[in-house]
Structure 1
Amino acid sequence: MEPSMNAGCHQSIVTLDDVFFFYENKKVIEHLSFNILERDFVGLIGSNGAGKTTLLKMIVGLLKPSQGQIRLFGQPVSTFRDWERIGYVPQKNAFNPLFPATVREVVLSGLYGKKNMFRRIGKADQQKCEEALYVMRIEDLADRRIGQLSGGQQQRVFLARALINNPELLILDEPTVGIDAETQAGFFRMIRHMHQHHHITFIMVSHDMDMVQSYIGTEPIQKSGSLSFYVKHTHEPENCKETNLTHSMQQLREKIEVLS
């Protein structure tokens, strides 16, 4: 279901209800309750071992809470099936670098889900791929094997893969690690535009919190154990007429061309 333009941005995208997580009898997360609304930008900060990555993995269904419940778009994670609505860039991607796939094929794989894994790639899909490659500045790598790339180049590929499907919820676990400062700045410009003018919700862990806090503020809205949640909500009175990701990417392309 498409988010309603008149919903007042009150739809719950992620609901954490008294969530616990134990790892080898050690409490990593306990009594965590939090509600993320449509068009929230959530910055997640915590020390090493605070449970940031663990929480993101629970939200995308890779780990199960030891106690409590997590809901996505109102549905329990255990029964949620619309994974194409979510883009996820993990801190360390589990993709096998020896897999014989090109950069273009990896990016295009972001268009596939369990419900459409046998779909044919059309011209519109190819255009989305080219836009994602351009914005991440990896268009010259499109025909190279993923295993031939450096760690930073691979991370750009997985960013493009997460963005290509125009997600309603974008989850980013330190997405710019290993990426040069210019590309980082361009990436933050793009997600700010997407957050301000499109119906996309963000959850982001970043090592460069100075850049993130310059947008979401320096005071957490909630603390739970060693985790701190910073939230910026937006509902701009004039939203972009174009709502797809290609438009957001075009905005960034124009900014890049002006700067160059």
Structure 2
Amino acid sequence: MQTNARFGCHQQIVTIDDIFFSYENKPVISGLNFSILERDFVGLVGSNGAGKTTLLKMIVGLLKPVRGEIRLFGQPIDQFRDWERVGYVPQKNALNPLFPATVREVVTSGLFGKKNMFRRLSKQERSKADDALYAMRIEDLADRRIGQLSGGQQQRVFLARALINNPELLILDEPTVGIDAETQAGFFRMIRHMHQHHHITFIMVTHDMDMIQSYLGEDSVQKSGGLSFYVKHTHEPENCRETDLTHSMQQLRETIEV
């Protein structure tokens, strides 16, 4: 396992310990070690086929490594149960445009674990959904079918779904693919605000090197195979004014372009 003086007293949110993964005996990730601290912003860059999405899927438990271990919040991933602490926005092309769900249904699905998928929402949970819709400026789209929305609108829906539980770890897989440049700029302003002012750790896959280097620095902190890791640390308590995302929904909303 990687050790680094930067760890200090800060909690390791994700620990990747000697991970190997292959598709049909073709190695994709080999011997990867990396640790992500609370309130890090990690930009993950690599060519197609380098293993970016594969790594994210292993971190959220959708794939299992051939060898090695991943820990979330100090727990081995196969024992981890607190999934409400993790928000995940997959690639846009993972959406079936014919999926018969409204925006509100997609957002509220972020509240459901495997054991409570079919229970009724409480008043507090409906309020959390309203807050997330409001923050992403999509409250007027609540009753629209998700497949009827533009790419930028869909990404706001999936981000609202990921944020509804006020996660401590937010994982974004190429969140701006297929979105126009103006909407991309608004999206990046929003997530920078979230990183600077909320207690959230970020992992983001993107091909936008200008965004990565402007916010995370010119140089990667680590390379492994075809993967490059860029990291910005925001550990100072005075930079983290909000512990509950719902306390500053108006601030968050104002960072998004209409």
Same structural fold, with TM-score higher than 0.5 when normalized by the shorter chain: yes
Q: CA deviation at 1:120?
A: 4.2
Count of aligned pairs: 252
Which whole-Å CA distance do the structure 1 matches of 2:148 and 2:190 have between them? Answer: 27
Match of 2:88 in 1: 88
DSSP-derived class of the 2:62 partner: coil
Match of 2:26 in 1: 26
Match of 1:16 in 2: 16
Q: Mean Cα displacement is larger for which, 83-92 or 141-150?
A: 141-150
Instruction: Spell out the pairing of 1:168-183 with structure 2 (5 A cutoff).
Output: 168-183=168-183
Which whole-Å CA distance do the structure 2 matches of 1:87 and 1:128 have between them? Answer: 15
Q: Is the 8 A contact 1:129 1:164 kept in 2?
A: yes
1:225 aligns with 2:253: no
User: Aligned letter for 1:202?
Assistant: F
Which whole-Å CA distance do the structure 1 matches of 2:179 and 2:139 have between them? Answer: 16
DSSP-derived class of the 1:15 partner: strand
1:63 aligns with 2:71: no
User: Aligned letter for 1:10?
Assistant: H
Q: CA deviation at 1:165?
A: 1.3
**Structure 2 CA distance for partners of 1:205 and 1:135, relative to 1, 3 Å:** same
Q: Mean Cα displacement is larger for which, 31-40 or 85-94?
A: 85-94
Q: CA deviation at 1:125?
A: 3.0
Q: Is the 8 A contact 2:38 2:235 kept in 1?
A: no
Q: CA deviation at 1:94?
A: 4.1
Which whole-Å CA distance do the structure 2 matches of 1:111 and 1:8 have between them? Answer: 33
1:15-46 deviation line (CA, Å, top 9, x unaligned)? 11110111111111101001111111100011
TM-score relative to the length of structure 1: 0.87
User: Aligned letter for 2:193?
Assistant: H
1:135-174 deviation line (CA, Å, top 9, x unaligned)? 4332222101223334443332112111121111000001
Match of 2:146 in 1: 146
**Structure 2 CA distance for partners of 1:92 and 1:140, relative to 1, 3 Å:** same
Identity of aligned residues (%): 83
1:134 aligns with 2:143: no
Match of 1:200 in 2: 200
Which whole-Å CA distance do the structure 2 matches of 1:9 and 1:163 have between them? Answer: 26
Which whole-Å CA distance do the structure 2 matches of 1:61 and 1:251 have between them? Answer: 32
TM-score relative to the length of structure 2: 0.87
Cα RMSD of the aligned pairs, angstroms, is 2.4
Q: Mean Cα displacement is larger for which, 87-96 or 68-77?
A: 87-96
Match of 2:3 in 1: none
**Structure 2 CA distance for partners of 1:241 and 1:151, relative to 1, 3 Å:** closer
Which whole-Å CA distance do the structure 1 matches of 2:120 and 2:206 have between them? Answer: 35
Q: Is the 8 A contact 2:152 2:183 kept in 1?
A: no
